[in-house]
Structure 1
Amino acid sequence: MILALACGVGVGGGLWLAWTGLRPPRPDLADLLAALSPSPAAPAAPAPRPGMEEGWAARLGRPLAVRLAPPRLLPATIRRDLTIVGRDPTGHLAEKITSGLVGLALPPLLTLVFAVAGIRLPFALPAALALAVAAALFLGPDLAVRTDATRKRRALRHAFAAFLDLTVIAMAGGAGLEQAVADAADTGGGEAFTLLRAVVDRAALTREPLWQPLADLGERYDVADIVQAAAVVQLAGGEGARVRVSLAAKADAIRLHGLADADADAAAATERMSLPVVVLTAGFLLMIAYPAVSRVLTGL
């Protein structure tokens, strides 16, 4: 029965691949229009790191992922997270496909091993287990990407708070807004400050207000604090005192937000640490109660 199911899945997958090869998906209209009228390159997204998505899972699933149009299949939130971590959507979808197929094949293989050992399992059990394991492994890469993107967002928020503090200090020393943000961006290092420095350079080269590329960076990385700071700069205009006070208040708010996130993470870690203790206590109580319960049941 398992062999017939595997053969049916293989034949269906081959027919579907042949059909997609004869009728490739149509390109997205937005991509075609963007190719006809390219806009200036935004400095927000980091370049994909070479070899980052070239694991064995991505290499095995890439021929199939290329035919599936990853921008359409992946949700918008996952695509945004992939942009933040600098990963290729095709490689990510290939890893998901390979992980799902591996999860789908593991329970039948274990069932075959048990059958060789003389243990017969009902057909419904390995089938349901195969679907559950395949779904879990298929969603695993999404969870990993979401975790990495959250970490990068927090790092960017932390760096942006320091950037605002440096800007306020420079403005208090008599520098203008443009000179202050340029000095603040040149002071820090790391990936987050590289993004902020690219935003400042873009504003200086294109002669556009600073708040516009800053808002684009916040929207691309889904960091509301950066978007709000850009709105503060836009509303304050050229009045240095108002900008300085507003940016200092925003830096304090970002630090309070970071402290709240740290407290929430500490509380969650504490709850996770209590789970093994609960399991050990339950096992200890079961070990103590089992002889008494067994004696009572045997006596009845």
Structure 2
Amino acid sequence: MTTLMALTLCGLVVGLGLALVVREFWPSHARAGDAIENLAPRNLIFRGSEEAVPTSWSEKMGSWSSQHLSNLPGVTTPKADLDLLGISTTRFYTDKTLWALIGLVFPGLLGLFSVVLDLPLPWPVFPLEGIVLALLLWHVPNQRVRNRARDARRNFAFATISYLRLVAIQRLASTGIVASMERAASVSEAWMFLRIREELRLARYAGLTPWATLDDLSDRLKMPELREVADITRLAGDGAGVTGGLMARAASLRDRMLTVEQVAAAKATTAMQIPTAALIGVLLILLIFPAAVSLAS
């Protein structure tokens, strides 16, 4: 095999791998027939039910990984974060497996290029690098989900403040507490309100109280703000007049969130002082150094 043929083969392998990775992460549109079929009641996945049967090769790979690798020591599944973001466990482990495969294959491709280019590199280095890189990239989806969930919880907390105020406004119109909670959740089409609306709908069908459902949702999503909503609406369900309490709790949550934002802003400002001082020092050196060299010469 000539050098040109080897380089062409390596380029084809790398291009195929990149094409598969891009195809996996590229957003796609579902066909209208499949979307309508998924809306059928038999295809709806309710809370506590099993996930849908995997059909594509990537879903099967993620399903196998979640079944056989999730119980290994050191492997954690952020169930609360995945539930908050609406990501299935199969999809999460599909991403983890793809990242690990990329880390495992990439050093091998480098080793193949080194053989083609006749570089004196020891071959045992590449398998070891592949294993280490695969272990590192295995945790990349965990960090991505953690960061997205942190931002989602902050947005959800601010939405909770608006939701409490909307419930209080409905109560001022002499609306029942259950109807007030459902109408307040129907005001906005934001994903936070859609999540609350879906939980209230499921609670109505299951014969549960809305505050019990929000309490359970708070535990599953690790959202203490929802627990406060559940506590104060539970008082209203017991016959207490809590309209003023709803507004007061919303104001308390708002002040707490603003305090957290101010502390974060202060930390960011403090963290910027060191790079700013280093930049000023470099500029001073650039200004003083030529003059010092001229005087010394």
| 2:82 aligned partner | 82
Q: Distance in 2 between matches of 1:130 and 1:278?
A: 40
1:255 correspondence with 2:243: no
Q: Distance in 2 between matches of 1:104 and 1:275?
A: 38
1:257 alignment partner AA: R
Of 63, 66, 81, which residue of structure 1 is paired with 2:63?
66
Q: Does the 8 Å contact 1:176/1:240 carry over to 2?
A: no
Q: Distance in 2 between matches of 1:254 and 1:235?
A: 18
Q: Distance in 2 between matches of 1:191 and 1:185?
A: 11
2:70 alignment partner AA: L
Q: Distance in 2 between matches of 1:81 and 1:225?
A: 16
Q: Give the aligned length.
A: 241
| 1:244 aligned partner | 243
2:238 alignment partner AA: G
Aligned in 2, Cα 1:203/1:111: closer, same or farther, shift over 3 Å?
A: closer
Point out where structure 2 has 5 or more consecutive residues left out of the alignment. 1-44, 288-297
**Matched position secondary structure for 2:209:** coil
| 2:92 aligned partner | 92
* 1:33-76 residue CA offsets vs partner (Å, 9 max, x unmatched): xxxxxxx944x99x99xxxx99xxxx765444433444870766
**Matched position secondary structure for 2:151:** helix
* 1:85-142 residue CA offsets vs partner (Å, 9 max, x unmatched): 2223223212212211221232343344345545434667655543442222111111
TM-score, L = length of structure 2: 0.63
1:146 correspondence with 2:108: no
TM-score, L = length of structure 1: 0.62
Point out where structure 1 has 5 or more consecutive residues left out of the alignment. 1-39, 289-300
Q: Distance in 2 between matches of 1:132 and 1:286?
A: 41
Q: Does the 8 Å contact 2:70/2:77 carry over to 1?
A: no
| 1:10 aligned partner | none
1:101 correspondence with 2:101: yes
**Matched position secondary structure for 2:158:** helix
Aligned in 2, Cα 1:101/1:118: closer, same or farther, shift over 3 Å?
A: same
| 2:221 aligned partner | 221
Q: Does the 8 Å contact 2:81/2:145 carry over to 1?
A: yes
Q: Distance in 1 between matches of 2:132 and 2:267?
A: 26
1:150 alignment partner AA: R
Please report how far the alpha carbon of residue 191 of structure 1 lies from its aligned counterpart in structure 2 after TM superposition.
Answer: 1.5
1:245 alignment partner AA: G
Aligned in 2, Cα 1:110/1:191: closer, same or farther, shift over 3 Å?
A: same
Q: Distance in 2 between matches of 1:66 and 1:178?
A: 39
2:198 alignment partner AA: A
Q: Distance in 1 between matches of 2:152 and 2:285?
A: 44
Q: Distance in 1 between matches of 2:278 and 2:106?
A: 28
| 2:190 aligned partner | 190
Q: Does the 8 Å contact 1:61/1:97 carry over to 2?
A: no
Q: Does the 8 Å contact 1:70/1:93 carry over to 2?
A: no
Aligned in 2, Cα 1:60/1:238: closer, same or farther, shift over 3 Å?
A: closer
Q: Distance in 1 between matches of 2:171 and 2:68?
A: 43
Aligned in 2, Cα 1:115/1:205: closer, same or farther, shift over 3 Å?
A: closer
| 1:24 aligned partner | none
Q: Distance in 1 between matches of 2:282 and 2:206?
A: 66
Aligned in 2, Cα 1:72/1:140: closer, same or farther, shift over 3 Å?
A: closer
**Matched position secondary structure for 1:187:** coil
Q: Does the 8 Å contact 1:71/1:79 carry over to 2?
A: no
With 265-274 and 145-154 compared, the bigger mean Cα shift is at 265-274
Aligned-residue sequence identity (percent) comes to 24
With 85-94 and 264-273 compared, the bigger mean Cα shift is at 264-273
